[in-house]
A and B are shown apart, each in its own frame.
Chain A
Amino acid sequence: MTLSLFESTGRLGRLKNQFIAKMTTRFPGLAQGFIHAYQAVESNDIPWTPVSKPLDESRLVLITTAGVHHPEQPPFDMSDPEGDPSFRQIDAATIGDAYTITHDYYDHTSADKDLNVVLPFERLRELKREGILGDIAERHFSFMGHIDGPHIPTLTTDTARQVARQVKADGNDIALLTPG
């Protein structure tokens, strides 16, 4: 997300960004002006794939922009004010309570306590057990949603397409996307 409200880097700058994130979480109106200023780069043609299978026969993959990753994976780059367009693979079977969120641009206090706030693996397993959802992918994908400048084309022409190809190759039927 393009929010020029955040422009500082370095240790003090990160603290400032984290403070702004806490304030905009509590008072969303503060971010409105910056969202309003976002110039869309997307075309008016909206991609469309009809849903072909019922939910109880569908395999679902999660994709988040909440900055979640396994602790041993490299964190997202917080030193670049224009963000980090890379992604991390998330292994649903092993992530459990051992996860890290590297993202200074939203207040992730709640998601730090319970991953289900951004990646609802436990709820999806419950729905699968109840027969409401067919299956859950083994690998899921995580980005850091604060992307600006030259990283926007990197995201749209490179990393987002890489993830799309992997999602398809894994045999998923539907994808749920969650923000930070």
Chain B
Amino acid sequence: MIQRAVEAIGIPTIGISIVREFTEKVKPPRTVFLKWPFGHPLGEPFNAAQHRTVLLKAFEALYRIETPGEIIDPGLRWRREQYK
């Protein structure tokens, strides 16, 4: 809802979602979805490489999404990825 208001005023937005069904209902303009536990949108504490990967995936989605409401799932598995 907040994302929609910011986009509506003229600022392009990208949101991180960890609850896909909720995002599908609220319909923000652009979303990167992570099937991760609540409270960890960037990942685990002090895992800088993981946070960086999420940010770069979010920026990639910001520039790649051309259809309003699209959700990109980069397929990052919780605690089963190697981050560099």
Contact = CB atoms under 8 A, between A and B. Distances in A.
Interface of A: 1, 21, 24-26, 28, 31-32, 35-36, 38, 40, 42, 44, 46-52, 55, 61, 63, 65-66, 106-111, 113-114, 116-118, 120, 122-124, 126-127, 133, 143, 147, 152, 155-156, 160-161, 163-165, 167-168, 172-180
Contacts of A114: 45-46
Contacts, number: 185
A175 B13 contact: yes
Contacts of A123: 42, 48, 51-52, 55
A124 B7 CA distance: 21
Nearest to A108: B39
Nearest to A61: B11
Contact of A177 (B9, B16, B46, B63): B16
Contacts of B37: 25-26, 28
Interface residues of B, number: 46
A26 B18 CA distance: 13
13 contacts: A35-B22, A38-B22, A47-B7, A47-B29, A49-B12, A117-B41, A117-B51, A126-B48, A155-B2, A160-B2, A167-B11, A179-B15, A179-B38
Contacts of B5: 47, 156, 160-161, 163-164
B58 interface: yes
A173 B44 CA distance: 28
Contacts of A44: 27
Contacts of B62: 51, 55, 174
Top 5 A-B pairs, shortest CB-CB distance: A114-B45, A46-B68, A160-B5, A47-B8, A177-B15
Given A107-B39, A160-B1, A48 B9 contact: no
